[in-house]
Amino acid sequence: MTMRIELGERSYDVIIERGCIEKAPSLLNLERKVLIVTDEGVPKEYADLISKGSKEAHIAVLPQGEGSKNMAHLENLLCKMLQEGFTRSDCVVAVGGGMVGDIAGFAAATYMRGIDFYNVPTTLLSQADSSIGGKTAVNLGGTKNIAGAFWQPKAVLIDTETIKTLPKEQIASGMAEIIKAGMIADAELFGMTENPGSASIDEMLTRSLLVKKRVVESDEREGGLRKILNFGHTIGHGIESVTGMLHGHAVALGMTVMCSDEARARLLTALEIAGLPTEVDCDKNEVYEAMLRDKKMKDGKIDAVWVDEPGTCEIVELLPEELKKRIEML
């Protein structure tokens, strides 16, 4: 199916279809210079498929992991485009997970003040969240995503066949974002995640993308509503940086302490079904410190997202001490 993200002149199609990478040459405009950014963990054949369909392809393979999302690699990507004579009419294609999409998108946003960008996410996590919405960034000075830009892709190709080769924990990590979408805005989707076998991953992924589409269309630059997509992330990012666990696993834990007791009981069931953690053994003070580094405060308070009942949520302003108490509940 094709889902259109309606953002005026920045509108684009998200194509969700098994095997759609193979159709990339007819779905994307690759009749120009194309910088394909991927990482060592992504099956080489995906980048090769894009390369074969391009007029002039250049492939940049980054080391796997969040550590590559830095200024040094960004500079390498920009220099490569400069050396190869890329102009404003050329483009960047990200083929991989969230790290690749974030840095490749930021390279596209900054090269010659912005060139076309296509995203081909190949992990469930990036298919469910970061590949749409236009957030691009690198990490800097120990802070995640601190240098970045809103730069919408020209199209997103979600080939759900690619998740077949992912390790189980990577699927679980992506399921966390799908469960999140259900918790904040789609009770029926949340119900699917509570009832194994009631829906396929493709169906749940598409529904969670519909949640993200609605949110991004009404608040592209996170002035308000888009903050709800950060449910579980305020504390989750702290857990992620202290424990090094996968993003979705940390977000899963972050969600467990930001909802009512009733919602929490149901959330724990959904997390267990998805193979996600429901408790963690780590230094809670370190998580608190990491969360404070990550989150910008406004008038001494931090915006967080609270769920009373799956399918609805509210943005609440909490004092750091209130979040500390929540972290202690982990």
Q: By the criterion CB under 6 A, which residues form the site for ligand GLY?
A: 129-130, 133, 135, 226, 229
Residue among 81 and 205 whose Cβ is closer to ligand GLY: 205
DSSP state of 113: G
Shortest Å, Cβ 28 to ligand GLY: 22
Residue among 225 and 257 whose Cβ is closer to ligand GLY: 225
Structure tokens at 258: 């930001």
Shortest Å, Cβ 301 to ligand GLY: 20
Shortest Å, Cβ 130 to ligand GLY: 6
Shortest Å, Cβ 50 to ligand GLY: 24
Residue among 41 and 105 whose Cβ is closer to ligand GLY: 105
Residue 220's Cα: distance from chain center in Å? 15
Q: Could you give the count of Cα atoms lying within 13 Å of 184 in the half-sphere of its Cβ?
A: 29
Q: CA-CA distances (angstroms) from residue 30 to 50, 151, 155, 327? A: 8, 19, 12, 47
How far apart are the C-alpha atoms of 83 and 89, rounded to whole Å?
Answer: 16
How far apart are the C-alpha atoms of 317 and 127, rounded to whole Å?
Answer: 30
Residue among 229 and 287 whose Cβ is closer to ligand GLY: 229
Shortest Å, Cβ 211 to ligand GLY: 11
Shortest Å, Cβ 229 to ligand GLY: 4
Residue among 74 and 176 whose Cβ is closer to ligand GLY: 176
Burial class (CB in 10 A: 0-12, 13-18, 19+), 311: middle
Residue among 60 and 255 whose Cβ is closer to ligand GLY: 255
Shortest Å, Cβ 144 to ligand GLY: 11
Residue among 41 and 134 whose Cβ is closer to ligand GLY: 134
Question: For 106-185, where are the E strands, in sequence order?
Answer: 116-121, 135-140, 143-150, 155-158
Residue among 129 and 159 whose Cβ is closer to ligand GLY: 129
DSSP state of 32: S
3-state secondary structure 171-230: HHHHHHHHHHHHHHHCHHHHHHHHCCCCCCHHHHHHHHHHHHHHHHHHCCCCCCHHHHHH
How far apart are the C-alpha atoms of 27 and 269, rounded to whole Å?
Answer: 39
Type of residue numbered 85: G
Residue among 228 and 330 whose Cβ is closer to ligand GLY: 228
Shortest Å, Cβ 31 to ligand GLY: 30
Structure tokens at 220: 């592209």
Shortest Å, Cβ 5 to ligand GLY: 12
Structure tokens at 126: 């990036």
How far apart are the C-alpha atoms of 13 and 26, rounded to whole Å?
Answer: 14
